[in-house]
Chains A and B, each alone.
Chain A
Amino acid sequence: MQFMLLFSRQGKLRLQKWYVPLSDKEKKKITRELVQTVLARKPKMCSFLEWRDLKIVYKRYASLYFCCAIEDQDNELITLEIIHRYVELLDKYFGSVCELDIIFNFEKAYFILDEFLLGGEVQETSKKNVLKAIEQADLLQEVFFLCCLTKAIGCLGEVWEGS
């Protein structure tokens, strides 16, 4: 996968993840072009389109469009399900996720995505494992909080591994 964009029906970009090196100018241009193209499509149309030399796979969830750019030999249907699995992960984490969750907790949305996809490839497909990683991180920060209070940083590793 080359990049993933989340944007609203009004065309506001909510999340962007780039897996290929591009200049900021180029990223903005691509985003503008794609948002326009996808928003112009009608609901019953197919979820794939050719764009430049890439394939675009997109799906709308409520007010939010999820849009992925994949390469020629990549599989469109499995990419649709990458999008769906990501939505499920967000949903599970936030508890029936909505656009506002992603706006106000954009950093969490990025963290969850990093656990699921890395370098544009699926890293972990198990919902349990992805969420476990995020929860552990949340837990860790509380452990850290306590440890910092007691200035007992040295015991961290064991506490973490025991948890």
Chain B
Amino acid sequence: MPAVSKGDGMRGLAVFISDIRNCKSKEAEIKRINKELANIRSKFKGDKALDGYSKKKYVCKLLFIFLLGHDIDFGHMEAVNLLSSNKYTEKQIGYLFISVLVNSNSELIRLINNAIKNDLASRNPTFMCLALHCIANVGSREMGEAFAADIPRILVAGDSMDSVKQSAALCLLRLYKASPDLVPMGEWTARVVHLLNDQHMGVVTAAVSLITCLCKKNPDDFKTCISLAVSRLSRIVSSASTDLQDYTYYFVPAPWLSVKLLRLLQCYPPPEDAAVKGRLVECLETVLNKAQEPPKSKKVQHSNAKNAILFETISLIIHYDSEPNLLVRACNQLGQFLQHRETNLRYLALESMCTLASSEFSHEAVKTHIDTVINALKTERDVSVRQRAADLLYAMCDRSNAKQIVSEMLRYLETADYAIREEIVLKVAILAEKYAVDYSWYVDTILNLIRIAGDYVSEEVWYRVLQIVTNRDDVQGYAAKTVFEALQAPACHENMVKVGGYILGEFGNLIAGDPRSSPPVQFSLLHSKFHLCSVATRALLLSTYIKFINLFPETKATIQGVLRAGSQLRNADVELQQRAVEYLTLSSVASTDVLATVLEEMPPFPERESSILAKLKRKKGPGAGSALDDGRRDPSSNDVNGGVEPTPSTVSTPSPSADLLGLRAAPPPAAPPATSGAGNLLVDVFSDGPAAQPSLGPTPEEAFLSELEPPAPESPMALLADPAPAADPGPEDIGPPIPEADELLNKFVCKNNGVLFENQLLQIGVKSEFRQNLGRMYLFYGNKTSVQFQNFSPTVVHPGDLQTQLAVQTKRVAAQVDGGAQVQQVLNIECLRDFLTPPLLSVRFRYGGAPQSLTLKLPVTINKFFQPTEMAAQDFFQRWKQLSLPQQEAQKIFKANHPMDAEVTKAKLLGFGSALLDNVDPNPENFVGAGIIQTKALQVGCLLRLEPNAQAQMYRLTLRTSKEPVSRHLCELLAQQF
């Protein structure tokens, strides 16, 4: 083995490193470094040409300084010079410097690429590998452009050395991950799959990673890899522990390769070929059997490698989710690990069991471990393990064990780490709601949450309890009594005051009969908390007070006194002052009847997916679906807690779009949905300002109240009506939309989320949601390069008359977007009246000094403000006849551009926004829809009919609306979708 102080040792470097290590302080270190930098700079600039060794030494010093965390702004040229050195170590150091400190200076990139090209062509495997390593380490788009086409050739060339093939495979993988468009698919792909058969295990190991990545994007092209992977796996699994020589790791044959092969198989469903499948199941069983054998070594490396394969095998079994026998065996194996002395194994077993819990075959088997898991939650010393245990309890919860699990989680909450409290609170709230048999238990649980961890109870949670109490009259009395008791505590959390204030304001009368909770007692209890609360809570309490005046006329004088007090009437906070003034006047001038109407009990909220669930999904991101889902295996629960239960489709795609589709398919809600509160993106619009306090929500007398109460400055309405002028330069400042703008826009007519635009530098994603005449859109700008964008400024422009038709209010975004980073921009949209052209989105920034600009059409089309309308056939025809003026109808006959599939058509029409009416058209092939376009100024009723003709591959589309331009515009928009 070569000693370290070989011929290439750099004495100067060693001395420098020692000096740095001997520095007593940060200042001394910086001083020493600056001295060295000055020295190197003068050497590089000096007249005397440096020899290769010195250049290598100085470049290496610069690298060391950079790795210490200091900035380096020179030396790149010298490093590039080293690339073409004849001496191997000089070349190697040059490449290392480039890999670590790559700079997008175009002149340099050209030189670097030249050097790489020479080395790739050198036919010297060591040089070729160096060059490939460099490409893989840098992995930039520029390198992809230069080499992505060559590397597949090197990879499959018959005369390439094994080591070169290995590097080429992973180099290509890195380039493919960075810019898939640059890697041309071709006949090489078939030969890559056959690398799975290669004699050299190292080549197979490298190739599997590449194949796994490629087949995720093109599963059909790589299908042949399934049988090859299975036979390779089978040979490894059945080999004796010494067969594979150096590829055996602590008596485990080829653990890395086995894990990668199992990973690859998880890209596909179970093999269709019975023989292949049989062989695979045999492999999986062998792995499970081996887990029961005594270990061949006491070393932890042996058990880790063996168990790595075991866990990957279990992942594959869960992925297939079709072999009950294997699933249960997997569960039993994990059960053993739950009590293993190795913390790592306990952690992984808890994690893996979480996914098992969502399979219908193993859910029951997972449940048998409940006591062990609860014990883990109580006794594990490591917070990350406890968190896994909490996740698993959440995943295994169903109606049979909900009470036990919720109470254990509540107990855990008292001592839980701050970092995970909010998540636990959300989970408890969801479980309590989902599995509540009687709602008094649910109310108790939420109040306990507030008591134990009030700071971590988010608005979604306490809004939700209010919604549920409002909607279920069987629990209202109990809720009033319980909050009244909870408020007795000398120090209670502000969230408790909010919930208490709201509930007593609505249902305080239900407990007023008891002298211990008579109206004056209720009032003075609430008012004793008043002065300790924030403005938002005080505003809510003022609303409670005015409701009390209606509920309990005997409190009127006291409450008027409070409202009249100088501290209210002249409060510095404009919201509080306004409420005091208005409520005082209202209580003095309105008759009892008017008062009773204005302050009537809140109408029920429309049922739909819990906003808490949405919040948890947002917190956990996609992929959390499995743990959140058990509506799927417990369909009976829908009966009791119906509106709250997520449908399986909602769960598998935790994006807000799914929620939205669910909303649209539902009949229009009874109450004005604007404040109906829960859920989705819009909810935070309404929770911003104090005006959004739920008690001031949409009572039937909305118009009356809203006259009394101009929106607070923070309210979204005010913002919408007053678009920020700064963000809105005249249309003359921006270029015309890009040629594809219309096509991109068309993609979004029937959907609200997706990628709006993508090029080499930038990706723009859209998420949007519309309700009535309001909308909110999130734009995500992703910097795909590794270089920061500067002066980044996206603006929305209204061409022509659009200003008067659509109000779009944008928030500013940061002017810098780091390489690889994403920024988000929020747009609030209000449709004032019908409009025909979409607003323009102009994006400008500087990339590497060059100004870039881009104009797109913002995917806001008139159909976004559709509200679906259900109606019977008779009504439909009556309205259809009413709209029979020739100018009210628009019709188009056109050829199908896509395969004619009834389900797809249906989805598109629903996405378009209208309701689909069944049994209206006498021809069942035809589609009939109805909806209302909501704008601030007017509503436009729309009826549509789509008649497919499969034989001719044609459609006829007819639209009738009360406004001529709208009919034509909708007809054009929709016709392009089929």
Q: Does A86 contact B (CB under 8 A)?
A: no
Interface presence of B136 (CB below 8 A): yes
| A73 CA / B3 CA spacing, docked (Å) | 40
Q: Which residues of A in the span 28-42 have a Cβ within 8 Å of any Cβ on B? A: 28, 42
Cα(A73)–Cα(B257), bound, Å: 16
**A125 contact from B163, B177, B205, B263, Cβ within 8 A:** B205
Interface contact A47-B69, CB-CB below 8 Å: no
On whether the beta carbons of A107 and B311 are closer than 8 Å, the reply is: no
Q: What's the minimum C-beta distance from A17 to chain B, rounded to whole angstroms?
A: 8
Report chain A residues within 8 Å CB of B266.
Answer: 73
Residues of A contacting B623 with CB < 8 Å?
Answer: 72
A124→B86 contact, CB < 8 A = no
Collect the chain A residues with CB atoms within 8 Å of residue B96's CB: 107, 110-111
Q: Contacts A23-B820, A77-B311, A137-B92 hold; do A92 and B1 have CB atoms under 8 A apart?
A: yes
Let me know if B17 and A23 touch, CB within 8 A. Answer: no
Cβ–Cβ < 8 Å partners of B177 in chain A: 119
Main secondary structure of the interface of B (DSSP, over half): helix
Bits for A33-58, please: 1 = Cβ < 8 Å to B, else 0: 00000000010111111100100000
The size class of the interface chain A forms with chain B is: 35 or more
Say yes or no: is B178 at the interface (Cβ < 8 Å to chain A).
yes
- CB-nearest residue of chain B to A124: B202
**Min CB–CB distance B417 → chain A (angstroms):** 12
The yes or no answer to B763 lying at the interface (CB within 8 A) is: no
Q: Decide if A125 touches B202 in the complex (CB within 8 Å).
A: yes
Partner of A107, one of B93, B166, B254, B259: B93
A122 near B343: Cβ-Cβ < 8 Å: no
Q: Is the CB of B246 within 8 A of A77?
A: no
Contact A119:B174 (CB < 8 A) given known A23-B820, A136-B126: yes
Which of A23, A48, A111 lies in contact with B348, CB distance below 8 A?
A48
Q: Which of A21, A47, A125 contacts B256 (CB 8 A)?
A: A125
Q: Is residue B89 contacting chain A, with contact meaning CB distance below 8 A? A: yes
Q: Whole-angstrom distance between the alpha carbons of A160 and B687 in the complex?
A: 72
Q: A residues within 8 A CB of B193?
A: none
Of the candidates B68, B124, B132, B139, which one forms a contact with A160 in the assembled complex, judged by CB atoms under 8 Å apart? Answer: B124
Asked if A118 and B67 sit within 8 Å, CB to CB, the answer is: no
B67 touches A23 (CB 8 A): no
Shortest beta-carbon distance from B292 to chain A in Å: 18
Bound form: Cα–Cα A131–B17 in Å: 26
The answer to whether B160 has its CB under 8 Å from any CB of chain A is no
Q: Is B249 an interface residue (CB 8 A)?
A: yes
Q: Which of B92, B124, B171, B384 has a CB less than 8 Å from the CB of A111?
A: B92
Interface positions, chain A 78-98, Cβ under 8 Å from B, are 78, 80-82, 84-85, 92-95
- How distant is A153 from chain B, measured CB to nearest CB, in Å? 6
Chain B residues with CB under 8 A of A81 = 249, 255-256, 301, 304-305, 308
Q: Which A144-163 residues sit within 8 Å CB-CB of chain B?
A: 144-145, 148, 153, 156-157, 160
Contact in complex: A126, B308 (CB < 8 Å): no
Do B246 and A157 touch across chains, with their CB atoms under 8 A apart?
A: no
Inter-chain CA distance A25–B821, complex, in Å, is: 12
Q: Is B381 among interface residues, defined by CB-CB distance under 8 A?
A: yes
- Interface-forming stretch among B4-12, B666-674, B965-973? B4-12
With the chains together, A137 CA to B36 CA distance in Å?
29
- Complex CA gap A129/B202 in Å reads 9
List the B side residues contacting A119 at CB < 8 Å.
136-137, 139, 170-171, 173-174, 177
Q: Which residue of A lies closest to B787 (CB)?
A: A23
Q: Are A123 and B206 in contact (CB under 8 A)?
A: yes
Query: How many Å from the CB of A83 to the closest CB on chain B?
Result: 10
Given contacts A48-B384, A110-B96, A119-B171, is CB(A26)–CB(B259) below 8 Å? Answer: no
List residues of B (133-192) whose CB comes within 8 Å of A's CBs: 133, 136-137, 139-140, 163, 166-167, 170-171, 173-174, 177-178
Check A77/B263 contact, CB under 8 A, given A26-B821, A137-B126. no
Measured in the bound complex, the distance between the Cα atoms of B174 and A123 in whole Å is 12
- A141 CB contacts on chain B under 8 angstroms: 7-8, 87-89
Residue among A45, A80, A118, A153 making CB contact with B86, cutoff 8 Å: A153
Question: Which of these, B71, B206, B381, contacts A121 with CB under 8 Å?
Answer: B206
Proximity string of chain B (64-95) to chain A, C-beta cutoff 8 Å, 1 when within and 0 when not? 10011101000000000000001111001100
Query: If A23-B820, A92-B1 touch, does A78 touch B305 (CB 8 Å cutoff)?
Result: yes
Contacting residues of chain B (109-124) with chain A, CB-CB under 8 angstroms:
123-124
**Nearest Cβ on chain B to A139's Cβ, whole angstroms:** 8
Taking the closest CB of chain B, its distance from the CB of A111, in whole angstroms, is 7
Tell which of A121, A128, A136, A140 has the most Cβ of chain B within 10 Å.
A121
CA distance A133 to B130 in the complex (A): 11
Docked CA distance A78–B89 (Å): 32
Contact indicator B7/A145 (Cβ below 8 Å): yes
| A62 lies within 8 A of chain B by Cβ | no
Q: A156 vs B209: C-alpha distance in the bound complex, in angstroms? A: 34
Tell me the bound Cα distance from A23 to B818 in angstroms: 7
Minimum CB–CB distance for A145 against chain B, Å: 6
In the bound assembly, the distance between CA atoms of A50 and B96 in angstroms comes to 31
The chain B residue sitting closest to A82, CB to CB, is: B256
B348 x A76 contact (CB < 8 A): yes
In the complex, chain B residues whose CB is within 8 Å of the CB of A28: 69
Report the Cα distance A42→B819, complex, angstroms. Answer: 35
**A104 and B308 form a contact (CB under 8 A):** no
Cα distance, A80 to B3, chains bound together (Å): 28
Q: Nearest chain-B residue to A55 (Cβ)? A: B351
Q: Which of B7, B86, B308, B788 lies in contact with A142, CB distance below 8 A?
A: B7
Instruction: Chain B residues near A22: list those with CB within 8 A.
Output: 786, 819-820
Q: Do B205 and A148 touch (CB < 8 A)? A: no
By a CB distance below 8 angstroms, the chain A residues around B209 are 121-122
**Least Cβ distance of A76 to chain B in Å?**
6
The proximity string for B residues 291-308 relative to A, scoring 1 for CB distances below 8 Å and 0 otherwise, is 000000000010011011
- Complex-state Cα separation, A23 to B177, whole angstroms: 18
- With A16-B67, A81-B301 known as contacts, the answer to whether A44 contacts B381 (CB < 8 A) is yes
**CA separation between A50 and B67, bound complex, in Å?**
26
Contact B126 A78 (CB under 8 A): no
Bound Cα distance from A81 to B300, whole angstroms: 10
**Chain A minimum-CB-distance residue to B257:** A125
* Contact partner, B174, options A19, A53, A114, A125, Cβ 8 Å: A19
List chain B residues, Cβ under 8 A from A153. 86
B201 CB-CB contact with A under 8 Å: yes
Residues of B within 8 A of A110 (CB): 96, 100
Closest to A77 in B: B308
> Which single residue of chain A is at the shortest CB-CB distance from B162?
A129
Tell me, yes or no, whether B531 is within 8 Å of chain A by CB.
no
Q: State whether the Cβ of A127 lies closer than 8 Å to any Cβ in chain B.
A: yes
Interface centre among A13, A15, A141 (most CB of B within 10 A): A141
Query: Is B63 located at the chain interface by the 8 A CB criterion?
Result: yes
A106 located at the interface, meaning its Cβ lies under 8 Å from any Cβ of chain B in the complex: yes
Taking the complex as formed, is B344 at the interface, i.e. its CB lies under 8 A from any CB of chain A?
A: yes
B2 within 8 A of A: yes
- Could you tell me which residues of chain B, from 831 to 853, have a CB within 8 Å of some CB in chain A? none
Given the contacts A48-B384, A81-B304, A105 and B21 also touching, CB distance less than 8 Å? no
Using CB atoms and an 8 Å cutoff, list the residues of chain B in contact with chain A.
Answer: 1-4, 6-8, 14, 17, 21, 60, 63-64, 67-69, 71, 86-89, 92-93, 96, 100, 123-124, 126, 129, 132-133, 136-137, 139-140, 163, 166-167, 170-171, 173-174, 177-178, 201-202, 205-206, 209, 246-247, 249, 254-257, 259-260, 263, 266, 301, 304-305, 307-308, 311-312, 343-344, 346-348, 381-382, 384-385, 387, 621, 623, 785-786, 788, 818-821
Interchain residue pairs A-B with the least CB separation, the first 10: A119-B174, A77-B308, A78-B308, A118-B170, A46-B343, A126-B246, A121-B209, A21-B786, A45-B382, A124-B202
If A75-B263, A75-B312, A125-B257 are given as contacts, then 6 extra A-B residue pairs at C-beta distance below 8 Å, sorted by A number, are A47-B344, A101-B4, A104-B17, A110-B100, A119-B136, A123-B205
24 cross-chain CB contacts under 8 A: A23-B819, A23-B820, A28-B69, A42-B382, A48-B384, A49-B384, A78-B304, A80-B304, A81-B256, A81-B305, A104-B14, A104-B17, A107-B60, A119-B137, A119-B139, A119-B171, A121-B209, A122-B260, A124-B205, A124-B206, A125-B202, A125-B256, A141-B8, A145-B87
